[in-house]
Amino acid sequence: MARFLVTKKWAAFVQPPNFQPPPTVVEVWKTEEKGSDVNLGVHLVRDALTGAFDEAAVLTNDTNLVEPLRIVTQDVKLPVILLAPGKNPAGSLETVATSTRHIQTYFGPCQFPDPVIGKNGKTIPKPASW
């Protein structure tokens, strides 16, 4: 089962606040997801070996999944489609996948409207980078 690890860390500012003198570092809460890549890899290999699928599709750019994808495509001889969430999928994943599909073109229709207007009337704009 995947879990989140929450720890305190010291981190530098990407863009320091606009006051003098600006601090060089601050203490932040760092959250890290742990275990889901291992779980996905183990289940993918198990399902391939037990014949639970004819073809798999994996949405990731996590290179920790290179070996499970390689086992399924090269050792078990089942196809795995890499569903690439970004414009530049990891080359090592593309090498072991049977094929790659770039899915960013499908994200637009799946997003909330811009802006989202809450019941309280507060508006939340979509970040410019989206």
Q: Classify the phi-psi angles of 35: left when phi > 0, otherwise alpha if psi is within -120 to 50, otherwise beta.
A: left
Q: Tens digit of pLDDT for each residue in 41-74? A: 999 999 999 999 999 999 999 999 999 999 999 9
What is the set of domains in the chain, with CATH numbers?
A: 36-108 (3.40.50.1010)
Nearest residue to 58 (alpha-carbon basis) of 27, 100, 112: 100
d(CA 98, CA 22): 50
Residue 2: the pLDDT is: 65
